[in-house]
């Protein structure tokens, strides 16, 4: 009997200890989602919509009078619109608001683009044109040849002019539809404040993780020669994002800025606040701080690469390898540690082993 009483007392102590360590999840997720919408989502999509409209205007001016000045203005507008896409690319909440596949599947299929222009007959909504539209297509059309040759090509080809018009109009249409969808669905987004599959919190955590994984896998890993986490030993510079314009580093940093804003709430309430509220720990360090620090490490690693990624894989391979490893660490922190602490299931699949 005495042994039973001692055992029962020990069990109570263990249970009490567990209760003390496990803080109740009474965080106001509705407030967090409202803050994220106000500080990140709404301004992000409005920025893309406005930048796409400017892109369309400058494209029309260039096509009506192709010269170095109008082409320069079009390239400037391309950069701004592409950067704005990067900021919201991770968000994948509906067919209307998800822009990653339609506007930024890279590398571009240049043969398909050339065939479309030559034939003058194409449908940009079909699967075979997924790599022949969006910003990768503009990157090829505006930057793959010399300034003089680009102007000459557009001056002498009605089909080429029409293709540029159609690609830009498609970008504008998709950007407007995404912005309109978010404007109409704010209440739905904010009210789905659980952590289960299909909740806004669950979808945001998945989107953050997936996009960070895409950064590691496609923006950095593939050019370096990685297939998933396996190193092939052969670099593939032609697979970099924004290959022809050489804006791979800049677009990567814009994308990272958008992901950091989603995590931190961009000055409002974010996932870092949620983790702090839960007392989430990572090897004796607050998990929120660990993730924030790792975002900085990734940004710093990218900023220290002095040339476009397409060149860096050869000339600054060690720095690119460092960036890859820092991205791998950040991916695990988001996909494994943060999701576990928040009780969110990662519901997309990959074969990378992380």
Q: What's the CA gap between 238 and 106, in Å, rounded?
A: 10
Return the closest-CA partner of residue 261 out of 125, 104, 105, 89. Answer: 89
Structural Rg of the chain based on CA atoms: 23
Phi, psi of 104 (to 5 degrees): -150, 50
**What's the rounded mean pLDDT across residues 234-244?**
98
Q: What's the CA gap between 297 and 327, in Å, rounded?
A: 9
pLDDT at 155: 97
Under the banding of pLDDT at 50, 70 and 90, the label for residue 233 is confident
- The residues, ordered by sequence, that sit 6+ positions from 122 with a Cβ below 8 Å of its Cβ are 116, 129, 132, 163
**What's the rounded mean pLDDT across residues 172-185?**
97
The residue count of the chain comes to: 354
Angle between helices 147-155 and 158-184 (to 10 degrees): 100
The answer, yes or no, to whether residue 302 has pLDDT greater than 70, is yes
Other Cβ atoms less than 10 A from the Cβ of 95: the count is: 10
Instruction: Look at phi and psi of residue 279 and say left if phi exceeds 0, alpha if psi is from -120 to 50, else beta.
Output: left
Q: What is the per-residue pLDDT across 16-30, written as a single tens digit (0 to 9) for each?
A: 333 434 466 799 999
- For 98, the token pair is 């998800």
Asked whether the beta carbons of 165 and 63 are under 8 A apart, the reply is: yes
The answer, yes or no, to whether residue 161 has pLDDT greater than 50, is yes
DSSP state of 282: E
pLDDT at 325: 98
Q: What's the CA gap between 178 and 169, in Å, rounded?
A: 14
Q: What is the per-residue pLDDT across 45-89, written as a single tens digit (0 to 9) for each?
A: 999 999 999 999 999 999 999 999 999 999 999 999 999 999 999
């Amino acid at each position: 009997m005495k042994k039973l009483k001692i055992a029962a007392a020990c069990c109570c102590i263990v249970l009490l200890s567990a209760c003390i360590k496990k803080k109740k999840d009474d965080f106001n997720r509705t407030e967090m989602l409202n803050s994220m919408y106000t500080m990140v989502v709404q301004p992000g999509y409005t920025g893309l919509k406005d930048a796409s409209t400017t892109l369309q205007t400058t494209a029309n001016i260039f096509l009506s009078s192709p010269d170095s000045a109008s082409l320069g203005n079009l390239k400037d507008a391309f950069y701004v619109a592409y950067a704005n896409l990067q900021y919201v690319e991770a968000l994948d909440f509906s067919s209307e608001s998800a822009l990653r596949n339609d506007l930024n599947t890279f590398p571009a299929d240049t043969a398909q683009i050339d065939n479309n222009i030559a034939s003058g007959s194409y449908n940009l909504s079909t699967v075979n044109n997924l790599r022949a539209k969006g910003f990768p297509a503009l990157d090829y059309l505006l930057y793959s040849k010399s300034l003089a040759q680009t102007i000459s090509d557009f001056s002498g080809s009605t089909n080429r002019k029409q293709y540029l018009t159609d690609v830009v109009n498609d970008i504008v249409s998709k950007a407007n539809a995404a912005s309109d969808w978010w404007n109409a669905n704010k209440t739905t987004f904010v009210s789905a404040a659980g952590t289960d599959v299909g909740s806004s919190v669950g979808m945001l955590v998945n989107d953050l993780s997936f996009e960070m994984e895409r950064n590691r896998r496609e923006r950095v890993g593939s050019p370096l020669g990685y297939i998933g986490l396996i190193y092939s030993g052969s670099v593939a510079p032609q697979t970099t994002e924004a290959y022809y314009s050489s804006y791979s580093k800049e677009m990567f940093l814009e994308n990272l800025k958008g992901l950091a804003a989603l995590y931190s709430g961009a000055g409002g309430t974010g996932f870092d606040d949620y983790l702090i509220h839960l007392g989430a720990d990572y090897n004796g360090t607050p998990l929120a701080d660990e993730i924030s620090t790792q975002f900085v490490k990734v940004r710093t690693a990218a900023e220290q690469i002095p040339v476009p990624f397409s060149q860096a894989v050869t000339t600054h391979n060690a720095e690119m390898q460092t960036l890859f490893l820092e991205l791998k660490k950040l991916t695990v922190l988001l996909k494994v540690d943060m999701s576990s602490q928040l009780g969110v299931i990662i519901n997309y699949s990959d074969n990378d082993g992380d």
